[in-house]
Structure 1
Amino acid sequence: MALVASAGTTTLLTGAAPAAASAPATAVAWHACPQYSEAALERMVPPELRTEFKALWARTECGKVSVPLDHRKPSGRHITVAVTRLKARDQARRAGSLALNPGGPGGSGYLMPVLYVLQRDNGNGEKLNERYDLIGFDPRGVGYSSKVDCRDPGRQPPLRAPITEAAARAAYDWQVKANRACGEQDPAFLGQLTTANVARDLDRVRGALGERKLSYLGISWGTWLGAQYRDLFPGRVQRMWLDSTALPDFRLDAFQAGRATATAQNFGREADWIAARNGTYDFGTTRQQVQAAMARLKEELTARPKTFTDLPEETFDGFLVSQIAGVPSLMWPEAAALLKELRDARSGEPAPPLIKKIFSRADGGGGEPPADLPEDFNGTMNQAVFCNEDTGPRDFDSFWAAFQKDRKRHPVTGDLSMPLNGCAGWPLPVQPVRLHHGNAPLVMSAHRHEVPSPYPWTRDMQDAVGGKVLTVNDDIHGSTAGMASDCAPKIATYFATGRLDGTECEGVPVPTSPDPSTRTLAAPGSTTADLARHLTKPRDVLPVDPSPLGWLDRG
């Protein structure tokens, strides 16, 4: 049950009241926690952890906190934020409350205290819960908190690789129409979906819990939220750790540029790995030879996509090569084997074993979700936060030009960039970012080779706000908080002592063998399942930001 989450940035409401002004005292309205059906639990928790989940959930307290929709108008319309609390086991030595956020924007943190404790391979959750009350919450717009769900805009015009300008323009026009319809549905609510307001809500939660200060652990967009909370309420931060840190200046064009570079660089590492195992894969003995072989394979499949008789609904084209070239290192054994099968397989015949395993979709998607299955991601909140805060260009020509540049510069991975701004046509005002350098406690872990939150972003954030940095020599998004490695214990040590143990660690090791079963940090078959989820998303839609990955597998 690996933690993966994704990236974001920060915002400040222009003209807002002083951030640290004392809010009116309020209390958590505690109530009975939801009791989930066995069908819901099957979707939420692996079978071997279900009994323990139930025991931890029985210890959990659930409640709601009333907050102003607009914090500049505290007497105006109010909404509620859903919270959970897993009290510290050692109350005599209790260290305070530690709020958790898994990323997004739009990710639910309601179950996060329990799920974090269940991650035995990492161990941090259990250690932290010994002395900290673990606090989960659904940000405004998500899950059990007050929210608005925009109507389904219908299917966008198909965008299949190679993407033409005409197809991209049609998708842009559709995006403008869909965003305008969404933004006009409840503009008073949607306009207040910002990271700054979530930070203000979190401070209301702190006060409602009776805490003078709050500790915080955030991943991906959760780092954006943490940086903003620290900026607005520096005197109320006890200890803070941010993993896979966001860039401090929010622009979707900057997201695209940073991730395009990071993807190409990580593909170079993947090519080195494949070259070192040429006896298995036969793509070449150097990085350059492997990259050239992948470029040829992409061109061949773009010109002549392959089909297989036992996978009649699938077409295997050049964009699939780009997707495989952009995966993190834990998936490299399966990715390289899949590329070999794509190269060697004959179109019009039965699919090779790994292709069939990944693309057969034998589970049929699991059927309709149970009615009581909690929402773990809200797309409207994701869209609103991004679009209320994106200060970059939203016209078609700017993004199309950048997309063309990425495709030329990175022949294999460039197609993974976005050919248009997903916030085009959003009708609500942009609320720009402004962060300040501060001295409140802060540690950020930066993954040297990762793509969703490229390493330079953490250094940019450090320049902007201060804090200490732990450099992690892996490419796994959020792995310090969510996976077993030599880095993971540093989080528990920091929250116990307030000190950072060293400035560098190795993180999740790159697999050494082409045989996936030799990995020690992933359950058998789990990375194959992850690769399947990565590759079987509809490929006739826009490449999207990977941020809608939170604490739970979304399948």
Structure 2
Amino acid sequence: MTFRRTLLLTLSATAIAATLTAPAAHAAAPPSLSWHPCDGASAADARECATLPVPLDYRKPGGEQLHIAVSRLRTDQPAHRRGTLLLIAGGPGGSGVGMVKNRAEQIRKETGGAYDIVGLDPRGVGGSTTADCGLDENDRDITTYRSWPAPDGSITANVEHSRRIAEQCARNGGSVLRSMSTANEVRDIERFRQALGERKLSAYGVSYGTYVGAEYAQKYPQHTDRWVLDSNDDPDPERVERGWLANMAVGADDRFPDFAAWAAEHGIAQRAEDVRPLFLSTAAKLDREPKKFTDGHLLTGNLLRQMLQGALYSDKQFPDFGDFFRAALSDRPLTMPRPAYLTLQPRDASVGMAVICNDARWPRSVDSYRRAVAADRVRHPLTAGMPANVSACTFWDHDPADKPARITSDGPSNILMVQNLRDPATPYSGALQMRRALGDRARLVSVDAGGHGSYLANGNACGNRKVTEFLTDGKRPARDVLCPKA
């Protein structure tokens, strides 16, 4: 997993909410899909792609239409096919078409060809209709886009940046940007189901995709078959979006001991317990005296903190970040340029911001953020107050079109949750809230592992087996289970 993908997942884990109170969305007959080989696919690549038209505004189903990119990998075992499995990407801003490209073959093999595997690109993502806030490079820099406070804890610059981003999105984004929301992604999924001609869908949603999946299961329980939610967010309507970002401070604390153990084993410190104070002191030194990359950009304390957040997503990131940390510790000049992935692409920045701001109304009081940041910096120094800080959503020019929905236990008992105990982005404490909300609809497989993403991601045979058995045989644990460390 690259640092750039990790960064998008981080953004991915920061937000979300939605609601599904709009009028019925599908009065017109569902569209047909014209499948064709995906652009750029090799002759051996069996994926197919198509375009799904959806209403810009489901309250006006006959009005302006947007185009949603969709993809599928059909089963290679037609005699064993039992249905269609939807892959729901994280984000906001993750690509379901990309998930089909990168993960469908592995999942098809793991499930013995039980499913046609499909995915869609949400509005603004990949091949779907997009919109752009027109943010300049500085506002797409990750330590600006993410509101890292100044070294002394001041949020004055964050307020200025956030207001400017909100104003640019209001000026440049238009109606398409305003339509990007979890509620509309759920409606687009339902339209996709109809176009596929399926009475029910099975699904695998990861990270933010768990919230999208939970929302769909809440609104369309009659159309859900076997539903897997991996790396879950707290669905409390009072906690979505802003609360999920705040949870990342807890997630970083939960996960850091895994990196500390690795760092001690690889000679960065003598003992694991020495790594945390070493990291904090190094970041504080860079706050005072930033180092220069070879291209003239600065390595600041906040950039080091942000790169740590990305590294915590996967053990596979530890070696790269370990090398970077060693360079930060050294008295010698840096010998590398600033990584390009630390500046978001315009569309990635626009989509992520649009969804988190369109889904839920953020508090407007700047003083409330100042107080929250001051407290959070004391409780969670690894994240230095960023998760509690102001964002462009504070100054967003319109309220959400849909109120955040409440996830309940109403519906069939057909959901399997899987969750790492030490997830830096969607921490275990938040996943337990999803478990409580779903009640007897769900069972939870807790995996004694660190990182973001569990199924087929961290080598835990027990967790993988529980998910695969559910998808292939419908076998679900009678009660919640804990899978021990691999």
Shorter-chain-normalised TM-score: which range?
0.7 to 0.9
Structure 2 residue matching 1:480: 3-state secondary structure? coil
Query: Residue 17 of structure 1 corresponds to which residue in structure 2?
Result: 23
Distance in 1 between the 2:325 and 2:177 partners? 43
Quick one: which amino acid aligns to residue 503 of structure 1?
Answer: V
Distance 1:89 1:125 in 2: 8
8 Å Cα contact 1:61-1:85 kept in structure 2: yes
Matches within 5 A, 1:63-102: 63-102=50-89
Paired with 1:106 and 1:61, the residues of 2 have a C-alpha distance of 21
Per the TM alignment, residue 337 of structure 1 is displaced from its structure 2 partner at its CA by 5.7
Q: How does 1:155-554 map to 2 (within 5 A)?
A: 155-156=138-139, 163=150, 168-185=155-172, 187-249=174-236, 250-271=239-260, 274=263, 277=265, 280-283=267-270, 285=271, 287=273, 289-306=274-291, 311=294, 313-319=296-302, 322-323=305-306, 326=309, 327-328=311-312, 330=315, 331-332=317-318, 335-336=321-322, 338-343=324-329, 345-346=330-331, 349=332, 351=334, 356=335, 359-360=336-337, 378-414=348-384, 416-417=386-387, 419-430=389-400, 431-435=402-406, 436-440=408-412, 441-466=414-439, 467-486=442-461, 487-500=463-476, 503-506=481-484
Q: Name the % identity.
A: 28
Q: TM-score, normalised by structure 2?
A: 0.83
Q: Deviations over 1:220-264 (max 9, x none)?
A: 111111011101100100111011112103444422331112212
Cα distance in 1 for residues equivalent to 2:187 and 2:148: 42
What amino acid maps onto 1:381 in structure 2? Answer: V
Whole-Å separation in 1 of the counterparts to 2:233 and 2:290:
37
Pairwise CA distance, 1:266:
2.5
CA contact under 8 A between 1:142 and 1:377: conserved in structure 2?
A: yes
From the superposition, tell whether residues 67 and 253 of structure 1 become closer, same or farther in structure 2 (CA, over 3 Å): closer
Contact 1:107 / 1:376 at 8 angstroms: preserved in 2?
A: no
Deviations 1:288-309 (A, max 9, x none): x44334433333343344458x
Closer, same or farther: CA 128–378 of 1 in aligned 2, 3 Å: farther
Max Rg structure = 1
Q: CA deviation at 1:410?
A: 3.0
Pairwise CA distance, 1:18:
5.1
For residue 79 of structure 1, report the CA deviation from its aligned partner: 2.3
After superposition, the Cα gap between the structure-2 partners of 1:384 and 1:376, relative to the gap in structure 1 and judged at 3 Å, is: closer
Three-state SS of the structure 1 residue aligned to 2:162 is helix
The code of the aligned residue for 2:455 comes to: T
Change (3 A) 1:35 1:9: closer
CA contact (8 A) 1:11 1:432 kept: yes
**2-structure distance, mates of 1:161, 1:246:** 22
| Deviation sequence 1:522-549 (CA, Å, 0-9, x none) | xxxxxxxxxxxxxxxxxxxxxxxxxxxx
CA distance in 1, matches of 2:124, 2:65: 13
With over 3 angstroms needed to count, the CA separation of the structure-2 counterparts of 1:165 and 1:137, relative to structure 1, is same
Q: Distance in 2 between matches of 1:152 and 1:306?
A: 26
1:5-57 alpha-carbon deviations (Å, 9 max, x no partner)? 4424431144x2257xx653323230534432xxxxxxxxxxxxxxxx62453
Structure 2 distance, partners of 1:498, 1:200, is 26
* In 2, Cα distance between equivalents of 1:340 and 1:145: 41
Of 114, 136, 140 in structure 1, the residue corresponding to residue 123 of structure 2 is 140
Letter in 1 for 2:416: V
AA in 2 matched with 1:420: V
Residue aligning to 2:36: 32
CA distance change for structure 1 residues 496 and 397 in 2, over 3 Å: closer, same or farther? Answer: same
Match of 1:50 in 2: none
Secondary structure of 2:126's aligned partner: coil
Q: State the TM-score, normalizing by the size of structure 1.
A: 0.73
2: CA distance between counterparts of 1:56 and 1:428? 47
Q: Secondary structure at the match of 1:30?
A: coil
Task: Compute the displacement of 1:449 (Å).
Answer: 0.7
Shift in CA distance, 312/226, structure 1 to aligned 2, threshold 3 Å: closer
Unaligned ranges ≥5, structure 1: 37-52, 367-374, 510-555
CA distance in 2, matches of 1:290, 1:482: 26
Q: CA RMSD in A?
A: 3.3
The Cα shift of 1:269 comes to: 4.5
CA contact (8 A) 1:105 1:221 kept: yes
1:151, 1:465 → 2: CA distance? 39
User: Do the aligned partners of 2:36 and 2:48 also contact (CA within 8 Å) in 1?
Assistant: yes
Would the alpha carbon gap of residues 415 and 11 (structure 1) be closer, same or farther in structure 2, given more than 3 Å must change? closer
SS of aligned partner of 2:125: coil
Q: Distance in 2 between matches of 1:292 and 1:93?
A: 55
Q: Is there any run of 5+ residues in structure 2 with no aligned partner, and where?
A: none
C-alpha contact 1:124 1:491 (8 A) present in aligned 2:
no
Instruction: Work out the CA distance in 1 between the residues paired with 2:301 and 2:443.
Output: 42
Judged with a 3 Å threshold, the aligned counterparts in structure 2 of structure 1 residues 304 and 155 are, in CA distance, closer, same or farther, namely closer
Alignment CA distance shift 1:389-1:365 (3 Å): closer
Give 1:545's aligned residue: none
SS of aligned partner of 1:178: helix
Matched-pair contact (CA < 8 Å) for 2:16–2:355: no
Deviation track 1:482-505 (CA, whole Å, cap 9, x = no partner) reads 454312233322111112357222
